[in-house]
A and B are shown apart, each in its own frame.
Chain A
Amino acid sequence: MSRFRDLAIGTALAVTLGAGPALAERLGLGRPALPEEIAAWDVKVMPDGRGLPVGSGTVADGEDLFSFHCAVCHGEFAEGVDNWPQLAGGEGTLDDADPVKTVGSYWPYLSTVWDYVNRSMPFGGAQVLEPDEVYAIVAYILYSNFLVDDDFELSNENFIEVQMPNVDGFIPDDRDEVELPLFVREPCMTDCKEGVEITMRATVLNVTPDM
């Protein structure tokens, strides 16, 4: 099987990887993945909605589901319980001294909410939700963030029409431009500053575990 695969696609590989590093010949290890296997594991959803299954869910259904599956940690209104993550609120706080980062205030893409809830929530009982349930819960999280009305229904059809408030709030790493010019330098060795004052002490806070 694998030997046949090598013969069949060896030529294509040489062409497609022409610009890449020189690669050794294939060893013919592993075996082709079956469509059912890929479908079971490849559940990612891209920002443009690719990967979403067909389905839909309403805010009202989401409220019930959220109450049952999620509210014990995230609160009935997605406001968070104790130290557990707050999923709603915090609008306009990102430049505050203490920003409140939630789905509504911070997350750039709705695809991430769907993907993460679908594959990793509820915490301790992941991958139990059906697609329609995930749509409904995501619709409820949007509602909790005042981003949709209470009669909203989210589906694979209207999914990418939802605009997340902080979609433009991210820039790719710019350390090379902003920080390297400052920090690539000849360091000072002597008389680097006149005085040195202690400005803060960890023992004042006293939050280190006893040893």
Chain B
Amino acid sequence: MSFVDYADTIKDGDTAIVFLGHESMFPVKVQHGSKTQTKYGVIRHSSDLIGKRYGSKVTCSKGGWVFILHPTPELWTMNLPHRTQILYSTDISLITMMLELKPGSIVCESGTGSGSLSHAIIRTVAPTGHLYTVEFHQQRAEKAKEEFQEHKVEHLVTVKNQDVCKNGFGVSNVADAVFLDIPSPWEAIGHAKSALKIEGGRICSFSPCIEQVQRTCLAMEEHGFTEINTLEILLRVYNVRTISLQIPDLGKAAEDNSSTGFDSSNQSNQGSLYGILQQGTAQFKSGVPLKEMVGHTGYLTFATKSLF
């Protein structure tokens, strides 16, 4: 397994995702002789995981079972240990497309943070592209390096521990795209410009507050970026439910059923719709919005550096 390559079977040293059911999962590092506790009992790596096919069902000691999934950047995003606030896949998708990332792209990123976006970028630019990621917090930079090694993608990424606003990305005129997720992105726009290729490229900055966006847009304009565009993307998730609504009892029905205007072709109790005690219900499937949803993550500001 690697984060940039599918494998069929689970091997020693892999990072696998243990799926326990509805939205509940966690990552596990597969090791000979290791054990993992779940609410369904113990998973013994040597006998239960190694050599098994990804996507198969694993029965735990208490008789319960889990699925073992092949890691992807999206599953990692949902399960990674947070060291900072992270970017989720909804924003990541738009960033990837609007920065025009593809195999072979050279990308600069700052800050690395928990590496949620980093994994997605590496996945997209592999096998011939490269990610230069800058993180000023030493511990976080170290941890990110470790993770990239564990996930077998270290050859596609260079982690630098420095302050991007002061020292830039440590590369110049090589990048096709630059991504900024730092408190003061306007201070890094100049460095971003010099990191981008001479013939041009794309830039994106992620900020939660509109004041940050305003200063960033001004800086972009000053540095000659064009096509400056600020977006926000919201994800709406729906639960699929079967809903039953009661048919009101309006007393004895008139002889003519159609006069009620209700289409009685529904699955349930035709004919007795207007019975006295018969509970008439109409059933239908509905996509019900979640009670609570994420209303705002941040603004995404995109721009183009052109040759001129």
Q: Do A and B come from one complex?
A: no
